[in-house]
Structure 1
Amino acid sequence: MTNNNPRKKIFHHLLQRYRIVIIADNSLEERMSVRFSILKFFAVITSVLVIIVFVTLFVVTKSSLGQYIPGRSKDDVLQSLIGLNMKTDSLQASLNRRDAYLNNIESVLSGNDSFLISNNNLSLEATVTLENISFETSQEDSILRFVVENEERGSLDYIKKDDGNFVFFPPVVGYISDTFNFQKKHFAVDLVAKKNSKISSVLAGTVIVSDWSSEVGYFIGIQHKDNYISFYKHNSALLKKVGDYVSAGEQIAVIGNSGEFSTGPHLHFELWHNGSPVNPLDYIKF
């Protein structure tokens, strides 16, 4: 009786054996024969494909080839990217601080201090007009001239800072006529000394500016280590040029009365640290 069941026909067809025979062409001798069924053929092919897939995944995940797969990177690559991103942010912050620092220095050199204190914060008492200044010789002036003329030039009084162990030399031997006052935008100590007194560098450093302006006259600025900068304004003459290296206590200028902001012969001395003005009295014994 003929079996008409389709499933049995398909199963029978899959199990039906076939033979592949390889025969020599010249002698017709059978060299090799392979017997197989369709079911066994597909089983072998599937096993080979599964092995290839597993071997490929193993090689890709356990070797450096994994970094070439889109969306997948090794941990060290990710860490490198994170480190580069952090360095970029740090560099950007450093550049922003340096730009602010250079803008402050540029404003100092031009005599513009409005970037530190708004004019609205200044009281009317801080405004000084030329008409209110008296240039007549007083008894105090006479005593001052006598004291200054009898003091030795080049005094080596100094203060040693605990933080940096710096030896700050006084820029000139004289009398303090005005002190540091942040609220009044007077970021300096004014020193009155005898005529033609030589001004000295408070620390060793390199001259970064040596010029003249209508506001502060002849001025010179020196860059010191640890981001200290000193400025000496209203001079009558400059003894150093940009790029010169000066030692602590070395003469750099001559005291004078140059510039529109000067009200008499004196030295306008400023000390800056990290782009901000500091009180020279905290660093130097005048």
Structure 2
Amino acid sequence: MIAILVYTPLGTLFAPPNYMDTEELLNLREKVLQLEESASAQNLYIKNLRQLLSGEVIVDADSSVTQIHEDSIANIPRIEEDEQLRRTFDLDQQLEKVGSNQIANTAPSKPLNQLYLVPPITGSISMPFDPEKNHLGVDINAPPNTAIKSIMDGYIIFAGWTLETGNTIGIQHDNNLISFYKHNSSLLKSTGTYVKAGEAVAIIGNTGTLSSGPHLHFELWQSGKPVDPQNYINFE
């Protein structure tokens, strides 16, 4: 009987279970940890992007700065609760789409003064970068129907509407750089699209409660912090 079990295929029916060895278990554990880290990075990226879109500054934990709003306005009209919920839901959907496809670039950043940035439009600056007055970008006046251009190659990480900034485009570039183009009359690209430097992404406009006239509100962020676009781009 023993010989039958050992030396014939019948023995495989009674073979002891093939438990994974220690190395296999360690490899599986490492893969699980990598998946957890990837999910955490995605969630953090979505959280940071939401802060950027809402005008908050992403800061270190020991910073005393909590929130900076991009523009000031005396009265913001109230909208119906269901409309607000719908718009919030739409924003969440776009951010989830972004997070599932495009994680923020973690490669070492080059200094901005070593990069060539295409002017999104040319025109006169009506309001400069002034973080002390909670203005985290520059306002540029230009004729109606002017095309807004991407400053560098990159992926559209947000293309949609918000209450305060109207039709808004956000583009993720290399070097941990994000550019925002706000108050547009219309958007020419959708979330997830890859664009080249100088490619038209929107049309200048006057949308959103923080806009008081046709213009482009342009913001430039590097590693989660706003920088003065006029230091790196010639808008004239």
TM-score under structure 2 normalisation?
0.60
Closer, same or farther: CA 195–101 of 1 in aligned 2, 3 Å = same
The code of the aligned residue for 1:107 comes to Q
Closer, same or farther: CA 248–185 of 1 in aligned 2, 3 Å = same
* Higher Cα radius of gyration: 1
1:216 aligns with 2:160: no
- Specify which of 173, 198, 210 is matched with residue 147 of structure 2: 198
Alpha-carbon distance in 1 for matches of 2:226, 2:206? 23
**Alignment correspondent of 2:194:** 245
- Aligned CA-pair RMSD: 3.6
- Specify which of 42, 51, 56 is matched with residue 113 of structure 1: 56
Task: Indicate the SS of the match to 2:48.
Answer: helix
Deviations for 1:5-49, whole angstroms, at most 9, x for unmatched residues?
xxxxxxxxxxxxxxxxxxxxxxxxxxxxxxxxxxxxxxxxxxxxx
Alpha-carbon distance in 2 for matches of 1:238, 1:127? 24
Closer, same or farther: CA 101–272 of 1 in aligned 2, 3 Å = farther
Runs of 4+ in 1 over 3 A off after TM superposition: 94-102, 114-119, 126-130, 161-165
Higher RCO by CA contacts (8 Å cutoff, separation 6 or greater): 2
- Specify which of 156, 168, 179 is matched with residue 230 of structure 1: 179
Judging by fraction of residues, say which structure has more helix.
1
Matched residues, number? 172
**Alignment correspondent of 2:47:** 103
Q: Please list every run of 5 or more consecutive structure 1 residues that lacks an aligned counterpart in the other structure.
A: 1-83, 131-160
User: Equivalent residues in 2 for 1:146-161 (5 A)?
Assistant: none
The code of the aligned residue for 1:278 comes to V
The code of the aligned residue for 2:215 comes to H
Alpha-carbon distance in 1 for matches of 2:42, 2:114? 25
User: Equivalent residues in 2 for 1:244-283 (5 A)?
Assistant: 244-283=193-232
Asked if structure 1 preserves the Cα contact closer than 8 Å seen for 2:183 and 2:208, the reply is: yes
The code of the aligned residue for 1:231 comes to F
TM-score under structure 1 normalisation?
0.50
Identity %: 43
Closer, same or farther: CA 203–114 of 1 in aligned 2, 3 Å = closer
Q: Please list every run of 5 or more consecutive structure 2 residues that lacks an aligned counterpart in the other structure.
A: 1-29, 60-64, 76-109
Closer, same or farther: CA 168–115 of 1 in aligned 2, 3 Å = closer
User: Equivalent residues in 2 for 1:1-286 (5 A)?
Assistant: 102-109=46-53, 111-113=54-56, 117-118=65-66, 129=74, 165-286=114-235
Alpha-carbon distance in 2 for matches of 1:284, 1:249? 13
Deviations for 1:46-70, whole angstroms, at most 9, x for unmatched residues?
xxxxxxxxxxxxxxxxxxxxxxxxx
Asked if structure 1 preserves the Cα contact closer than 8 Å seen for 2:181 and 2:219, the reply is: yes
Closer, same or farther: CA 279–241 of 1 in aligned 2, 3 Å = same
